[in-house]
Every structure is written in C-alpha cells, then in structure tokens.
Amino acid sequence: MIIDDHEVVRRGIAEVVDRAEGMTVVAEAGSVADGVRRAALVRPQVLLVDLQLPDGTGIELLTAVREQLPSARAIVLTSFDDDDALAEALDAGAAAYLLKSVRGAEITDVIRAVAAGRVLLDERTVTRRKAGHDDPTESLTPSELRVIDLIGEGLSNREIAERLGVVEKTVKNHITSLLAKMGLQRRTQVAAWVASHRHAGWRSESGH
C-alpha cells in the first residue's frame, strides 16, 4: 500500500511495484485519515509511507496502523535526509527508510527484503549517522552564536558591532574565533551555513 499525497509520485511507485514479479499494489492513499481507513480494509503486508501528509505525518499514520495491524511492515519513503525523522521512523516501527531519489529497482529490492522480515533501519544506523553529523557550533560562546545569527541576517561587521554594543574589532575577533572552531575559512561560508540550517527539521518544511 502506498501513502503519499502527490498522485504523480504514487502512480510512479505503483507502476514500478506492479511491474515487479510477485508484487501488487493493493491500495493508495493521500492522507493520514484515508491511509488508516484503507489499511484496515485491505490489510496490506507492506506500507510505503511519505513523512509529510496534508493532515499529519507518516509517523502518526504508522503508529495508528500498527495498533490495527501489528504484523504489517512499513517503509518510510521521503525526500528528507534528516536524522530526527530517521529516529522517529525507527520508533514508529519502520523497517526501512528510503529517500525519494532512490531508483525503482532499489524500491522493489527493499520491499522484498522488508516483506521477508528483514529490518534495514536499526538503532546502530541512527547512532552512526548522528555521530557523523556533529554540530560545528557546539563549542561556540554565546557571543559567537549571536554573531553567527547576525551574519545570517546579512549584517556587516560594523552593524553587528552596533547591535551588540561593542567595537568592530571585537566582532572581527569573534569571527576569527568562530571560523576556526567551525572549520571554515570565510565569513560568506558562515552565512551559507546559517541559510542551510535555519529550519526546525523535517516537520516544519513544506513540499516534498
């Protein structure tokens, strides 16, 4: 069963699955409510679930379906390469976590493995990934963190100095220090880092 609110995505996956030997798409749904209702009717062996749905999350759907169908296996299929989402999918009982950039043949391989009882997502995977995603701002002082925020707002060194009530040389010292701690060379890299991290994780993102 495929649960994704983008009809084009659903149809594309359904085509790949239906062409694969020994597999049939028994139902499709575009929301949490519809997914829970249809899963109860068709009792799918494997669910492919998107994380973001119009009326909630794929995690909520998995939790609800697991109560009704404890033997159903679940695969999260998402565009979010996000450690928090990965950990939540594991907690909700997902057996695999696939990104939407995956090739069709890989989807069917994973469905087969999960249907056969294999778990491709485990605590070790999540822990290992988190270890490789250390926060480069962890060792910064409160002043340096404030400077990073203001760089992200597009302020010049002089404007940052005025905002913080310090001399411009102090701001330059902060920047020299935070660049060294973050492993960066230039101020522009700090601005780019802020732009790429200024969100509250997969739950607040829009689109797929």
Predicted pLDDT at 141: 87
Q: In what order do the strands lie in the sheet with 28-29?
A: 28-29, 2-3, 46-49, 73-78, 96-99
Please say if the pLDDT value at position 71 is more than 60: yes
Predicted pLDDT at 72: 94
Rounded mean pLDDT of the chain?
Answer: 86
Predicted pLDDT at 207: 47
What distance in Å separates the CA atoms of residue 203 and residue 57, rounded to the nearest whole number?
Answer: 8
The lowest-confidence range among 51-65, 67-81, 121-135, 188-202 is 121-135
Note the pLDDT tens digit of each residue in 84-135: 788 888 888 899 988 888 888 888 999 999 999 998 876 666 666 666 556 7
Predicted pLDDT at 128: 60
Note the pLDDT tens digit of each residue in 143-194: 999 999 899 889 999 999 999 999 999 999 999 998 888 888 888 888 887 8
SS3 48: strand
Cα–Cα nearest to 58, from 3, 119, 122, 123? 3
Please say if the pLDDT value at position 28 is more than 80: yes
Token readout for 157 is: 């060194």
Average pLDDT over residues 130-142: 72
Token readout for 136 is: 């480069």
Predicted pLDDT at 132: 59
User: Domains in the chain and their CATH numbers?
Assistant: 2-131 (3.40.50.2300), 142-202 (1.10.10.10)
